[in-house]
Amino acid sequence: MKDDGIKVPYRIKYHEHKIGGVANFTQDRQYSQYINFLQFDSSDGIMIGDAGIMHIFVKRKDLENLDFSNAVFYFDQY
């Protein structure tokens, strides 16, 4: 990782693309009743707004049934 003034441990801990897991938010937490299905985070290769994060959330029952018709797309930024 290049040194741009941001500490490497912070980058590793808080910035990541992922499938599932706990959602990271740049602003207030939203959609706590949903499962974080996909998360795309700003990085060297992609910038979402002003260092933002994009999510696709689904409800647990919908995920169990592989029903993504009610999935929610959400993004926030600084």
> Measured at the alpha carbon of residue 30, what is the angle toward residues 9 and 70, in degrees to the nearest 5?
115
Q: What is the reported pTM?
A: 0.67
List the domain boundaries for the chain. 8-76
pLDDT at residue 13 above 80? no
pLDDT digits (tens, 9 = 90+) for 45-68: 777 777 778 889 999 999 999 999
Which among 54, 59, 31 is positioned nearest to 43, based on CA atoms? Answer: 54
Give the model's pLDDT for residue 63.
93
- What burial class does residue 63 get, using C-beta atoms within 10 Å of its C-beta: 0-12 exposed, 13-18 middle, 19+ buried? middle
Please give the Cα distance from 75 to 42 (Å, whole number): 11
